[in-house]
Amino acid sequence: MAVMDVIGSFFAAIGQIGDRRFRRVLFRGIGLTFVLLIAAYAGFLMLLNGLGAAQWVQELLGNISWVGDLFTWTSFFLMVVLSVFLMVPVASAITSMFLDEVASAVEDRHYPHVPKVSPLPFSEGLKDTVNFLGVLIFANIVGLIVYVLFPPMALFIFWGMNGFLLGREYFTLAAMRHLGRDGAKRLRKKHGGTIWLAGTLMAMPLSIPLINLVIPILGAATFTHLFHRLEPQQFPATSD
């Protein structure tokens, strides 16, 4: 049942791409995702430079002027490869910016009986995202040690760990719109396994270059559907 809820939520999100309102949000999300990916990549290069890894990178890729070569084809393809890892924090950052807009579009079409809610204050969503982003980055840094110790399982560990963290964040923000922070936490604990599964199925395509650009917005829509599928009694449909 849990698997069907997750799969059904994902295909319901896919099915709304033809909706003009949803498509507008999707295209804006793809554009911002790409911008954030470039920013994350530039930050990664600067970090390498700051750590004294510039010489190693230059030996691997040739002479890089960091800023000047940021938009070269070599740099672009390197960014696409690194997006396997960089898209996880980018997807996290997208949540505070678009989840309310995506959730509203989904609920207006699929759950019209659900009471309208005021958008979460941007500052509150941003605070949650920044805090979570710190946890996400720290967990992935620690994960690097685990990947080295268990290389055959590295990809599965990456998916499972980030699936748990991303599912936790996306579901919490989707549920908070209606239930508040405490209610969202209670519901998250109740359906922890299903949310982890949904987050893992989101983390997997995030590791596929180019396809991963559409996943943050589709993920927001998927978790909005999942919230309503897991607890339909929260908002029973009324008949005329």
11-25 pLDDT per residue, tens: 999 999 888 888 888
Whole-angstrom distance, CA of residue 19 vs CA of residue 190: 32
Residue 181 lies inside a defined structural domain of this protein: yes
Q: Is the pLDDT of residue 58 over 70?
A: no
Residue 186 lies inside a defined structural domain of this protein: yes
Tally of domains in the chain? 1
Residue 211 lies inside a defined structural domain of this protein: yes
102-137 pLDDT per residue, tens: 999 999 999 998 888 877 776 777 777 788 888 888
157-200 pLDDT per residue, tens: 999 999 999 999 999 989 998 998 899 999 999 999 999 999 99
Residue 168 lies inside a defined structural domain of this protein: yes
Residue 237 lies inside a defined structural domain of this protein: no
Residue 160 lies inside a defined structural domain of this protein: yes
- Domain region containing 94: 2-34+84-232
Whether residue 178 contacts residue 234, with contact meaning beta carbons closer than 8 Å, is answered with: yes
